[in-house]
């Protein structure tokens, strides 16, 4: 068996394994159960796509595709970081609960102040803002 035939067999095996990973990751994205699972699955999906591109690039002998794989990897990483930051800053306590973080003292104090203000307004008969 020469090197070219061996590389061809290895690329087919790698593509089969990447396809199986792609299927399992897609199932995790659909089933969830929580937002962190989906974010992690999307990040893994980008990683598998980079693997597909790299494997096809090596099998075809066109190494120009590796530049595309590198660019996709960078964009995928940055989008995951941006999404996580958005969820943590704008998602409120629900997003932090999904990520397993406990609310800190500032969140607890803000929540207590807000609920206390609402209770006081309701007792006085005022409308909530």
CATH of the domain at 13: 1.10.287
**5: pLDDT strictly greater than 60:** yes
**119: pLDDT strictly greater than 80:** no
Q: Are residues 56 and 21 in the same domain?
A: yes
Q: Are residues 51 and 79 in the same domain?
A: yes
Percent of the chain whose pLDDT exceeds 90: 33
Higher pLDDT, 7 or 121: 7
Q: Are residues 60 and 13 in the same domain?
A: yes
Pair 56, 23: CB distance under 8 Å: no
Among 54, 75, 82, 78, residue whose Cα is nearest residue 66: 54
- How much is the mean pLDDT over the chain? 79
* 12-64 pLDDT tens trace: 999 999 999 999 999 999 998 888 888 889 899 999 999 999 999 988 888 88
Query: Considering its fold, how many domains does the chain have in total?
Result: 2
Question: What does the pLDDT read at residue 30?
Answer: 92
Q: Are residues 45 and 103 in the same domain?
A: no
Q: Are residues 12 and 67 in the same domain?
A: yes
Q: How far is CA 38 from CA 4, 44, 60, 87, 101, in A?
A: 39, 10, 32, 12, 17
Q: Phi-psi region for residue 103, left (φ > 0), alpha (ψ -120 to 50) or beta?
A: beta
Is the bond preceding residue 33 a cis peptide, omega within 30 degrees?
yes
Tell me the residue ranges of DSSP E strands in 7-79. Answer: none
Pair 38, 32: CB distance under 8 Å: yes
Question: What does the pLDDT read at residue 27?
Answer: 93
Q: Are residues 87 and 117 in the same domain?
A: no
Q: Are residues 53 and 25 in the same domain?
A: yes
Question: What does the pLDDT read at residue 127?
Answer: 56
Structural domain boundaries, residue 87: 3-92
Higher pLDDT, 107 or 100: 100
Q: Are residues 116 and 62 in the same domain?
A: no
């Amino acid at each position: 068996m020469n090197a070219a035939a061996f590389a061809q067999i290895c690329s087919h095996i790698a593509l089969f394994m990447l396809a199986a990973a792609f299927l399992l990751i897609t199932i995790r994205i659909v089933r969830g159960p929580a937002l962190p699972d989906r974010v992690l699955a999307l990040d893994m999906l980008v990683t598998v796509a980079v693997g597909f591109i790299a494997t096809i690039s090596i099998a075809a002998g066109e190494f120009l595709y590796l530049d595309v794989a590198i660019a996709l990897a960078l964009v995928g990483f940055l989008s995951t970081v941006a999404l996580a930051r958005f969820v943590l800053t704008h998602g409120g306590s629900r997003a932090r609960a999904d990520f397993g973080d406990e609310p800190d003292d500032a969140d607890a104090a803000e929540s207590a102040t807000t609920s206390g203000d609402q209770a006081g307004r309701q007792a006085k008969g005022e409308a909530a803002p």
